[in-house]
Structure 1
Amino acid sequence: MEGEVVINDGTNKPASMDSLLQWSQWQLIDSILPTGGFAHSFGLEAAIQARLVSGPEGLRTYVIQVLENTGSLLLPFVYSASISPDMQTWHKLDKMLDATLTNEVGRKASIAQGSALMRVAAAVFQEVPNLKTLRDTSLSTGAVCFHHAPIFGLICGLLGSDVQTSQRAYMFMIMRDVISAATRLNLVGPLGAAVLQHQVAVVAEDLSKKWMDRAVEEACQTMPLLDTVQGCHGYLFSRLFCS
């Protein structure tokens, strides 16, 4: 019948709702969403000036190391927030991550991106009024720093994304932003960047599976050199990125 909503087999969710969820998921990781991710190089700019990265092969290694560190350190926060998207859990995770991040440059970058993401999500995803309520309440109390990873998981959970998709999406965003930064730093051209992203996707999937669905108590640094390099970004004489 015209206008009839088809129900998926084995679920209680209308097929049309599943389709709308996919549109929201795509928008959440779309580069046009103004969350400030492209203002950060995740330490790549400092690594280039320190001559730790000097060509396409070095870039590939760096991107993989960033993904490894993201999976081990930040995916647990995305996962925990997405399976329990409420204010109490979010505030707890935010405080834990604030205490876990060891370099001030990375910490400020996480807060800047998280604050922007929460503001944008509250304005865009108006079908989830809890987002605006959570943001307004937290701003008024000053109870959280608005770190990026827990907020991303919180939004995914409130939108109804499954936890595996949420974690893969987070890894994709980090990979995309680092490679985009490499393009603007003239380390690789746009076509080369697209080829690199496609090649690294295989590794990113393996790393996602490796670190997926872990509790925050298991969060750890696997690439401490990256943390050190990013911490040096503020000492650069000239720089294009914020971190």
Structure 2
Amino acid sequence: MDMNVLIPLLQTVDSAFPTGGFSHSLGLEAFIQHTGTGRCAKNFGILKHAFVCILENSGSLSIPFVRAAHSAIVNRNVIKSEQTEHHTLVQLDKMCETYTTNHIARRASTRQGKSFFEVACFTYSHLAQELRSAIVDLPHCHLPVVYGAILAGLGVDENTTLTTFMYCVVRSMIATAVRLDVLGAMEGQKVQFLLQQLIPEILDRNRTRSVGDACMKFPVIDVLQNTQDTLFSKLFYS
């Protein structure tokens, strides 16, 4: 990969990139409270199951939108054949809003999407000129749509874009588990390494999934996340 692409990519996926991701638990906090999962060896299987469910849902629901948004930017000046699926960023954003039925997840996605867009355009001045007109009109700014568009604008290829999106999901899950004290810092790194090995398989199963086929494979974690606002005590916004 071109170093002029790789270095900004590393900056973008770094946890220090201020997109507000640390305010959102991806439904993990509600899951832990409702299942009573604590920090002990016997509960690790339950926690690992939650991790896998979140990863699978991200692959089947979000990856199609990341891929389509990336394609919309890369191919914006290319004439599409009638057989090729093509959506504008506005259409993708509206579809993502419709498909994200959980109001907590929808709120988290739009907040992070707006933050990601603002920080990226502030950091990379050329993006502000190239993509602002394409993204500024988005009615909701869902994170998968914005992420795919921004990385395409940075010149990152599709496969790397999808892989880093899933990496960010894993990274956020582990950071959440450590902050909730169900994993230790060192243990979290070990679990993250194991979960990262699932990314290629998840991508292979969802790489060709169209946005029309985007879905939630494991609805229980989504239902539990829907109760985030009703938790008596909580550390995360979603």
Q: TM-score, normalised by structure 2?
A: 0.89
Which of 54, 68, 92 in structure 1 is aligned with 2:56?
68
Q: Structure 2: where are the runs of 5+ without partners?
A: 77-86
> How far apart are residue 132 of structure 1 and its match?
3.3
Q: Which moved more, 1:37-46 or 1:208-217?
A: 208-217
Give runs of aligned pairs for residues 187-226 of structure 1, distance below 5 A: 187-226=182-221
Match in the other structure for 2:91 = 92
Mapping of residues 15-94 of structure 1, within 5 Å: 18-51=2-35, 53-54=37-38, 55-85=43-73, 89-94=88-93
Match of 1:158 among 143, 153, 156: 153
**Whole-Å separation in 2 of the counterparts to 1:211 and 1:53:** 30
Name the counterpart of 2:81.
none
What amino acid is aligned across from residue 211 of structure 1 in structure 2? N
| Superposed displacement of residue 52, structure 1 | 6.0
Aligned length: 221
Q: Distance in 2 between matches of 1:165 and 1:53?
A: 34
Whole-angstrom distance in 2 between the partners of 1:76 and 1:216: 5
Distance (Å, rounded) in 1 between the aligned partners of 2:206 and 2:62: 9
SS of 1:50's partner is helix
Which stretch of structure 1 is more off in the superposition, 18-27 or 183-192? 18-27
Give the corresponding residue for 1:107. 106
Counterparts of 2:35 and 2:143, CA distance in 1: 29
Distance 1:163 1:219 in 2: 18
Deviation at 1:201, TM superposition (A): 1.3
When Rg is computed on C-alpha atoms for both structures, the one with the higher figure is 1
Q: What secondary structure sits across from 2:216 in the alignment?
A: coil
Moved more, 126-135 or 166-175: 126-135
- Root mean square deviation of aligned Cα: 1.5
Shift of 1:181: 0.3
Q: Residues 40 and 242 of structure 1 are in contact (CA less than 8 Å); yes or no, is this contact kept in structure 2?
A: yes
Q: Does 1:148 align with 2:148?
A: no
Q: Deviation digits for residues 86-129 of structure 1, max 9, x if unmatched?
A: 5x711110000101111111110001000100000111111222
The question of whether the paired residues in 2 share the 8 Å contact of 1:53 and 1:62 is answered with no
3-state SS in 2 of match to 1:33: coil
- Check the 8 A contact 1:183/1:189 in 2, yes or no: yes
TM, length-normalised to structure 1: 0.87
Contact in 1 for aligned 2:89/2:134 (Cα 8 Å)? no
Would you say the 8 A contact 1:121–1:131 is kept in 2?
no
> What secondary structure sits across from 1:84 in the alignment?
helix
Q: Using the alignment, how far apart are the partners of 1:77 and 1:40 within structure 2? A: 20
Change (3 A) 1:92 1:25: same
SS in 2 for 1:74: helix
**Partner deviation per Cα, 1:61-90 (whole Å, 9 max, x = no partner):** 21111010000000000000001125x711
Q: Does the 8 A contact of 1:91 with 1:144 survive in 2?
A: yes
Q: 1:242 and 1:173, CA in 2 relative to 1: closer, same or farther beyond 3 A?
A: same
Contact 1:81 1:153 in 2 (8 A): yes
Identical-pair percentage: 32
Q: Does 1:184 align with 2:179?
A: yes
Q: Indicate if the aligned counterparts of 1:79 and 1:153 stay in contact, CA closer than 8 A.
A: yes
